[in-house]
Amino acid sequence: MKRKTLQKSFAAAMTAALLLNVCTGCSLGGSKGATLEVSLEHSYSSEPLQIEGIERLSSIYAVGDKMIVAGYNNDYSEDSYAVYNVTDNSTQPFSFAYSESLPEDTEASPIAVIATDDGGMKVLYSSYSFANDEYKDLGMILETYDSNFQVVDTKKIDSVDGSEGFNNIVPDPDGGYFATMYDESGNPSLGVLDENFKKVKNVNVNSTYISGVVTAKDGTCYVAYQDMEYNNVVGKIDAEAGSVSTLTIEGMPSWYNECIPSTDEKYDFYITQSNSLYGVNAANGTCEEVINWINSDFTGDFVTNITQLLDGRFCIVSNSMDYTDSSMWLLSPRSEEELKDLELISMAVLYPDGNLMNAVSNFNRTNDKYRIVVYDYSKFNTDEDYKAGLNKFESDMTSGIVADMISLNGLPYESLCNKGIFTDLDEFSENLTDDKYFTNYFDSLRYGDKLYKLSFAFSVQTLLAKTEHVGEGTMDIKAFTELLKNMPEGMKPMSGDITRDSIVNMFITSNLNSFVDVNSATCSFNSQEFIDLLEFSNTLPAESGMNYENMEDSDWNSYWEDEGVAYLDDKALFYNEYISDLQSSYRDQMTYFDQEPVTMCGFPIVNENDNGGRFESSFSLAISSNSKCKDVCWSFFEYMLSDDFQNQLTWYIPVSKSAFDAKAQEAMSPDTYIDENGNEQVMDFTVYRGNTEVKVPEMTQEYVDKIKNYIEGVTVSSYYDEQLYTIVDEEVQKYFAGDQDAKQTSDVIQSRASLYLAEQH
């Protein structure tokens, strides 16, 4: 039986209104400043949906013109459900009848909610008991509801083989179902089920992951999956033959996350990824963008539960970056009236950062005059050419095509500085004072004496070691190499499987700051200290001494036990620490050093005011020197500098000191849980050393002050240049092969690197 034809989407009626192809420059017309053309096509407006009784959202299921909304209370101790009616915005409480009827020590979890043509639904449960702490599988239950969500039938069904589990069940037009299944090893398969959910055959899909299965309005079934080479593929299912025929779809992005049913006659199904949601017409072999997430004020990486309603609108769940908060939204195409008075500001990005995209969405949502439109150059990248986006960006720069704002991640920053593309931000930054911000971080971003870019969060890379081995201060390159050469017998530079290549990577190619002065375009690869590091590296093994492929569980257990105490037992010297989350950094120190005195000695210092730490930028932005909207661009910068945004950052250190202090207080607060009697209990702070769990003291203010003081003493941002990396690696490999000695190697690197740096300036 084929599905009934659904209502036509009203989205088609809005298409003409959205075909805006605007040259930005802070105006919909008039003179141009920045010259990158951006579009507000595929821009949707959004309305927040408040679901009474749901504190934390988890899932939504479309059932006719209603939705079953699933979630939890704030402490995740209790499931909660509601029915939301999109026609009148009403909400009513709901509970799954079978789950509510079970005796104590027995539970049933809904594993599929399947809408039926009459506006009702079928709910498939997996039931189990845990009496006397013993788990027992009680089989599967099918419950049928009518359009008023009243139970009309409940029956036990035969479960599939216990070695397989259901996932993503969709109706087959012949009356059965398709189900994605995973065995105990996580290997996927596609099963054909009869009307009682009994598996009757497998569909041959050679895949590593199945993204989704959908049934189109004409009854054709499609599967989206990753093949054995991890390529994203869409195929047409032949259930009778148990086979899948691969489709060629023009315009299909090279990767995507999910495959979603469509209620729009124009598309058979949708696929989604971090930038956009695309509609696929399999019969025509075409794929086109439908929703641009950023233009619609969302960050695509954190959008889940995408559901299209019968009238063509979309319902989504938008999650915070740490998934501790979520909200539900109803999306509709924007009208021409909404867009006509907007002043557009262009932003060019090569690698969209989640925090940055979140900031753009928040800024746009709170402005009725300006809208930032993101032009993502990564869309030009392919599996065959991962540099296509960068090449396109550089080509545009050469042609004078420049955005109002430029995200600098992955771009040749120093080279662009020398082309006069960026505005000196010193004229805007007088309120960035060191009582409010880590201004030493801003200073580390300078190129020469100019502040051409600003970054709004960071991490700090440093080296930790027992104080007894390194003292309490920093080291220059000479002292550093001497320390490595004179380590006690049985001690390695770091834990893990150390090879000569790994030491070159850690202490040379990933630490170019010690040998390159970016501002003066000079380098010191022919120094004796560099030669000493090369010679020390060559004393280490060329290849890993671990036979990972043949290691048994007992071998791994022994390996991790040894690694867990390597620093405490003086078997390893330096621990490479990234300070991006205070609690994680504290956990690292307690794990590897316990309460032993530890020094954050950092890398070899660049100057006498340096403490050896290296700032790592999360994302950085520049303003075009040609932009006519510099003040508006700076207002966006000010939003990202505000505590409103800084407090939202996850896994980075905020540049705001007040936001840092707030996060520190949160990190020092012990974790709690609600016990079976409803009482809040404090959890012990524990770490694992190998396979052993160890209780350690809670983080103290003393530790927080130590980290903050260390951050305030960092003066250098990490410098990485792929071309310099390649130069060093090529010549070092010749040295390791015996083709040249260390002195010759250092001279060749110095010559090649000096020429390259001069060309960049």
Place 637 in a pLDDT band, splitting at 50, 70 and 90. very high
Predicted pLDDT at 162: 44
CA–CA dist 694, 554 (Å, integer): 21
pLDDT at position 76 is 66
Q: What's the pLDDT at 33? A: 58
Please give the DSSP secondary-structure letter assigned to residue 684: P
Minimum mean pLDDT among 126-140, 200-214, 462-476, 630-644: which range? 126-140
Predicted local confidence at residue 752, as pLDDT: 96
Closest alpha carbon to 484 in 462, 510, 504? 504
Amino acid letter, residue 562 = D
Beta bridge partners of 234: 224
- Per CATH, the number for 458-617+662-760 is 3.40.190
pLDDT above 70 as % of the chain: 94
Q: Are 315 and 62 in contact (CB under 8 A)?
A: yes
Smallest Cα–Cα separation from 576: which of 689, 518, 498, 679?
Answer: 498
pLDDT at 466 over 70: yes
| Among 62-66, 464-468, 705-709, 757-761, the least confident range | 757-761
Query: Is the pLDDT reported for residue 163 higher than 60?
Result: no
Q: How confident is the model at residue 12 (pLDDT cuts 50, 70, 90)?
A: very low
* Burial (Cβ within 10 Å: 0-12, 13-18, ≥19) of residue 631: exposed
Question: Residue 297 pLDDT > 80, yes or no?
Answer: yes
**Distance, CA of 754 to chain centre:** 37
3-state secondary structure at position 359: helix
What local confidence, expressed as pLDDT, does residue 10 receive? 34
Q: pLDDT (tens digit, 9 = 90+) per residue, 497-550?
A: 889 998 898 888 878 888 998 888 899 999 998 999 999 999 999 988 788 778
The reported pLDDT for the residue numbered 7 is 36
Give 21's pLDDT tier (boundaries 50, 70, 90): very low
pLDDT of residue 732: 95
Q: What is the Cα–Cα distance from 121 to 5, expressed in whole angstroms?
A: 18
Question: For 413-451, what is each residue's pLDDT tens digit?
Answer: 888 888 889 999 998 998 999 999 999 999 999 998 999
Q: pLDDT: is 248 or 158 the higher one?
A: 248
Q: Where does 204-293 show beta strands of DSSP type E?
A: 207-215, 221-227, 232-238, 243-246, 258-261, 269-272, 276-281, 286-292
Query: For 343-366, how does the pLDDT look when each residue is reduced to its tens digit (9 = 90+)?
Result: 899 999 998 888 899 899 999 988
Structure tokens at 115: 């809408």
Mean pLDDT across the stretch 378-384? 82
pLDDT at 3 over 70: no
3-state SS assignment for residue 570: coil
The mean per-residue pLDDT over the stretch 733-754 comes to: 96
For helices 354-365 and 630-641, angle between their N-to-C axes, nearest 10 degrees: 110
C-alpha 200/C-alpha 161 separation (Å) is 12
Q: Is the confidence at residue 294, as pLDDT, over 70? A: yes
pLDDT of residue 9: 37
Q: Which residue has the higher pLDDT, 501 or 340?
A: 501
Question: Do 735 and 463 form a contact (C-beta atoms < 8 A)?
Answer: no
**What is the overall mean pLDDT for the chain?**
87
For 681-696, what is each residue's pLDDT tens digit?
A: 889 999 999 888 999 9
Q: For residue range 84-124, what is the model confidence (pLDDT) as tens digits?
A: 988 888 889 898 988 888 887 888 888 889 998 888 999 98
pLDDT in tens, 38-80: 878 899 999 998 888 888 888 888 898 888 998 887 766 678 8
pLDDT, average across residues 383-395? 87
- Is residue 172 within 8 Å of residue 178, measured between CB atoms? yes
- The full length of the chain comes to 761
CA separation for the pair 311, 333 (Å, rounded): 12
Band of residue 270 on the pLDDT scale cut at 50, 70, 90? very high
Listed in sequence order, the residues at least 6 apart from 477 whose beta carbon sits closer than 8 Å to its beta carbon are: 514, 527, 529, 530, 533, 604
C-alpha–C-alpha distance, residues 387 and 738, integer Å: 33
Report the share of the chain in percent with pLDDT over 90: 46
Give the pLDDT confidence score for residue 18 in this predicted structure.
35
Nearest to 647 by CA among 298, 320, 304: 320
User: Across residues 26-43, what is the average pLDDT?
Assistant: 65
How many CB atoms are located within 10 Å of the residue 155 CB? Answer: 10
pLDDT score recorded for residue 189: 87
Question: pLDDT-based confidence at 26, cuts 50/70/90?
Answer: low
Q: Buried b vs exposed e over 60-74: b needs ≥16 C-beta within 10 Å? A: bbbbbebbbbbbeee
pLDDT, mean of residues 120-138: 83
